[in-house]
Amino acid sequence: MKCKKNKKNCLEGHVRQNPMPLVKGMTVDQVIDSSMFSFNAGAFRKACELFANHCVRKNVRIGMSLAGALVPAGIGRSCLIPLIKAGMIDWIVSTGANLYHDLHYVLGHEFHEGRASVDDEKLREEGIIRIYDIYLSYDALLDTDRFIRDLLRRERAGIPQPCSSADIHALLGKEIITIRPDVKDSSLLAVAYEAGVPIHTSSPADSSIGMNIAALMLDDETIHMDTHQDINEVTGYVYDIKKRGGKSAVLLIGGGSPKNFVLQTEPHIQEVLGLPEAGHDYFIQFTDARPDTGGLSGATPSEAVSWGKIDPAALSGTVVSYGDCSLMLPFMTSYALNRAKSRPLSRLSNKRGRLVKQLKEDFRSKR
């Protein structure tokens, strides 16, 4: 088929690939820009560019979902903490497991490199916990359980009743800073607390933190955690920035419940509360899940449009990069730190009550 236009203009409007030879001393962002153009490499480069050039801006609020054992893999220290300190993450929804494992560092326990192919019965006898190829002492679990129960038992009277999961995680972060100021900069919970970045868990009972709260209930020391309060708080973050003419960006690391909890903020605004909104403006996901299996982790941005989660006009601002999150996130973090300027901290933790109040007032007024 011949080009309908002048031959010189056939590909007008399409960005020309410009691969460059890799040389010694190049930074990560230079390597990405010089060599990643097609297939998953091209999608990954576009994700890096979208995050650094469009999401990390003054009037964009960035929410992150975190699934998978990424804190044990070292991602908490190497990537999440630098992004938080640079003002590139405003709020987080994580599995409870990542936050539980973050506490091990504070108590003097470290993760060790192991092997995935091993006799797990022997590891059990030796008191070693395995997370694929990561090893951890069983004593770390016992010490961390004790730490959580003792803290919550001591501070129970000061915890709001009911509370959101963000209240519990803020309490943990504050305690880390108090008792271990020497290691606070290595703790995701402590850094997030100090930066005012709220961390939520969509399924708080599905983790060891939740199990320890359940144990307190058996001692008649109940802590009333209401995850519906979490729904309104995270929705308040999105509604507030959109009401003020800003934009909402979502950075989805893996899938599962945290992914949906971040995305469902928009259906909550539009469908349930009946407030005018169109959807998130930027969508970046790193996943190894396929869309055709029906799992949420593989659900595409265009599918999210049908739910009202993504603004239809913003599909050009969406990227899904398929691969291993533990591999991709360090490179994207380096890219963003090299290419984007740090932003002032939004400190949403201090604004949760006010933002929920705004959401409540507008909902009641609309109704």
* Residues identified as active-site: 309
Residue type, 302: S
The sign of the CA dihedral 40, 41, 46, 51 is positive
Nearest residue to 265 (alpha-carbon basis) of 280, 254, 244: 280
How far is C-alpha 48 from the chain's CA centre?
16
Q: Which residues of 130-166 are buried (b: 16+ CB within 10 A; e: fewer)?
A: ebeebbbbeebbebbbebbbebbeeeeeebeeebbbb
